A and B are shown apart, each in its own frame.
Chain A
Amino acid sequence: MQKAETAMKNEKQQSGPFIQRDRNWHPPAYTPTYKTSILRSPQKALLSLDNTLSEMTGPVFGHSLIGELDNDLLQNFSQNGDLPIGERIVVHGRVLDEKGHPVPNVLLELWQANAGGRYRHQKESYIAPLDPNFGGCGRTITDDDGNYTFRTIRPGPYPWPNGVNDWRPAHIHFSVFGQGFAQRLITQMYFEGDPLIARCPILNTIPDQAAIEQLVAPLDMANSLPMDSLAYKFDIVLRGRRSTYFENRREGN
Chain B
Amino acid sequence: MQKEAEIRDPLIIGNKTYHDITVDVARPVEGKANKQWWILFALSFSMFLWLVLAIAYTIGVGIGSWGLNKTVGWAWDITNFVWWIGIGHAGTLISAVLLLFRQKWRMSINRSAEAMTIFGVAQAALFPLIHMGRPWLMYYVFPIPNQFGSLWVNFNSPLLWDVFAISTYFSVSVVFWYIGLIPDFAMIRDRMSSKIAPMKKKLYTLMSFGWSGRAKHWQRFEEVSLVLAGLATPLVFSVHSIVSMDFATSVIPGWHTTIFPPYFVLGALFSGFAMVETLLIIMRKVLHLEAYITIKHIEYMNVIILLTGSLVGCAYITELFMAWYSGVEFEQYAFLNRATGPYWWAYASMMSCNVLIPQLYWINSIRTSFIATFILSIFVNIGMWFERFVIIVTSLHRDYLPSSWTMFSPSFIDIAIFLGTIGFFFTLFLLYSRTFPVIAQAELKTILKTSGSEYKKKLNKNNE
Are A and B a genuine interacting pair, yes or no? no
Residues of B within 8 A of A (CB): none
Q: Give A residues with C-beta under 8 Å from B.
A: none
